[in-house]
Amino acid sequence: MNDLSPVPQLSSCPPQTFQTSGGREERWLILFVMLLVFVDAAWRWPVPSANEPHYLTMARHQWDPEWCDRDLFLQSTPAHSVFYRTIGLITVWLTFDQAAWVGRLFAFALVAWGWVRLSRILLPDGVGVFWATIVYLILASQGSFSGEWIVRGCEAKVFSYGLLLWALSAALSRRWISAALCWGLSISFHPLVGLWSLLCYTAAELSFVVEKFIRWEPDRRTSSEVKNESDQRLGISWKPLLVLVMAALPGLLTSLALFFGMDPKQQYQATYIQVFYRLAHHLDPMTFPVAAYFFAGILIVVWLCGRRWTPPTRDRDVFSRFIGVSIAIAALGVLIGWGPRPGGEMPGFAWRMSLLKFYPFRLFDGMMPIATAFAVVHIWHAAGRRWMAIRASADFRLSGTTESRSTARRRSTFVTAVTTVCLALWCASLFPSPADRMSAEQYTAWREACDWIERETPADALFITPNQSWGFKWYAQRAEYVNMKDCPQDPPHLVEWNRRLKLLANWGKRNFSGGYTRKELQSLQNQTSADYLLAQHLGPMTIEPVFQNKWYRLYSLTDDKIR
């Protein structure tokens, strides 16, 4: 048969996974993948990345409640308490920059471990891990459907995805206790990632039962044989279920507190703010750019094409069904969110909005590039088998012998590793994405202002910061009255967050008449209880700043001069 011909049906033979020579080779693979991920993240996402100030400042506050205790976001109910209570400890001992690197070390190690374990089951050989990693990093750097990603910085979902990859590998290997533990911890670190993945995997496994029922094939085995196969397939046992529940409870209990026992009116307002305003770029499919739909479509097409040249095993079929369920959930999310705008004009607006709040696109957006990378490796492997067969035949005719398989494998691994590192560095340099989105000159001025504030202002002071402020608590170590990025998750604080943003916007518009007087600044201080106003474009003011550089000006709102 031609090596590039599609495989028409699922094989009944055992899974064909590549076997490492003991644990040493696997450890080298894990270290290499981890190094590759570090190089990519460090090059494209220097510390702090986009969400690290959001997560690590909350983590610091959970261990040191007096730190920036007047900050609205830090006062809110934490949505990822397990992350804050574990990784947050290092923020007490180290600086934020150091804590971010240590957190990335643990997070990326977890991702690398899960990646290699899953690759052992789904890829044809060990060399494929290198290529799958670089293909994934390239795909992830090109875009996303709903703004989801796995490898970037130190935050809760990176740990959750690493545990998810580990759980998938354990479940496909029928190690149900390990799978339950990893899935439970994945749920604890990030409930949405963990629960959506658990739902998709359960649906993938149950699809075999439904498929067999539809075919209605008579089963001539004894009842004990049927039960043993069912237990092996679904892991039906009280022990894995107990482990899963116990491992998931710490994170679930905190997350459930965000939805139950809240005022219905506040819950409704908070949901609207989340879905159609603050997190619309993640939750509202009508706001996704056309390019995002094209990107997702290309990934799906490549994945479907790759399946035709993937050697069939049951484990690969389970993973394909797992991805298929995530695609179906994302498609359903698009249907739920599709309609006229503003969102209040959609029929069934309330229930559709409530469903979109649970990120129906998250798992698809996170796992689809992984599935596509695996599919590309299988295509390359099929083409490589064909090419190597032709070359081996030519070598034999020319020399009368062929080099040993182990020598060829070592040479291929070395060449692939070097090529992969070079490609990683090249790709990382092509897509620089500074998280702060500031020019070098503005960033220098921003750091200068924050450093001065940390040195010269009281530790318990409250600041009103510009709309474009980023990482203020990270750099200045001071509380903010409100921050667009740092959006609370619990309804009461989320509604208050929205009120504060509107208050500042209305104050700025109402008083923008050539300058802001002492009376107007006093009114702002009375409404916010803020101690300082850090301005970028706002002004001019009738009082002198206590600090000023080319980009920013700092005013004291408690100075006797404005009273």
Instruction: Locate 378 and state its tokens.
Output: 């299988």
Q: For 339-385, what is each residue's pLDDT tens digit?
A: 988 888 888 889 999 999 999 999 999 999 999 999 999 988 777 66
* Predicted pLDDT at 509: 81
Burial of 184 (0-12, 13-18, 19+ CB in 10 A): buried
Average confidence score pLDDT of the chain: 84
* Amino acid letter for position 146: S
Cβ distance 447 to 470 under 8 Å?
no
* Predicted pLDDT at 14: 39
Count of beta carbons in the 10 Å neighbourhood of residue 322? 23
Domain ranges of the chain: 22-379, 440-562
Looking at per-residue confidence, does 360 or 223 come out higher?
360
Check residue 274 and report its DSSP letter.
I
Cβ distance 547 to 449 under 8 Å?
yes
> What percentage of the chain exceeds 90 in pLDDT?
54
* Predicted pLDDT at 494: 95
The three-class DSSP label of residue 537 is coil
| pLDDT, average across residues 496-507 | 94
Tell me what percent of the chain is helix, strand and coil, each rounded to the nearest 5. 65, 5, 30
pLDDT tops 60 at residue 455: yes
The three-class DSSP label of residue 367 is helix
Of 77-81, 199-203, 424-428, the range with the lowest mean pLDDT is 424-428
Handedness of CA 142, 315, 412, 161 (dihedral sign): positive
Cβ distance 504 to 521 under 8 Å?
no
Q: What does the DSSP assignment read for 303-358?
A: HHHHHHTSPP-HHHHHHHHHHHHHHHHHHHHHHHH-S-SSGGGSTTHHHHHHHHTT
Q: For 502-520, what is each residue's pLDDT tens digit?
A: 999 988 887 666 678 888 8
Looking at per-residue confidence, does 482 or 414 come out higher?
482
Q: For 94-115, what is each residue's pLDDT tens digit?
A: 999 999 999 999 999 999 999 9
Q: For 60-72, what is each residue's pLDDT tens digit?
A: 999 999 999 999 9
* Predicted pLDDT at 268: 92
In which band, very low, low, confident or very high, does the pLDDT at 440 lie, cut at 50, 70 and 90? Answer: confident
pLDDT tops 90 at residue 140: no
> What percentage of the chain exceeds 70 in pLDDT?
80
Looking at per-residue confidence, does 393 or 81 come out higher?
81
The three-class DSSP label of residue 514 is coil
Of 10-24, 73-87, 262-276, 310-324, the range with the lowest mean pLDDT is 10-24
pTM for the predicted model, two decimal places: 0.87
* Amino acid letter for position 258: L
Cβ distance 176 to 237 under 8 Å?
yes
Count of beta carbons in the 10 Å neighbourhood of residue 391? 11
**What are φ and ψ of residue 556, in 5° steps?**
-90, 125
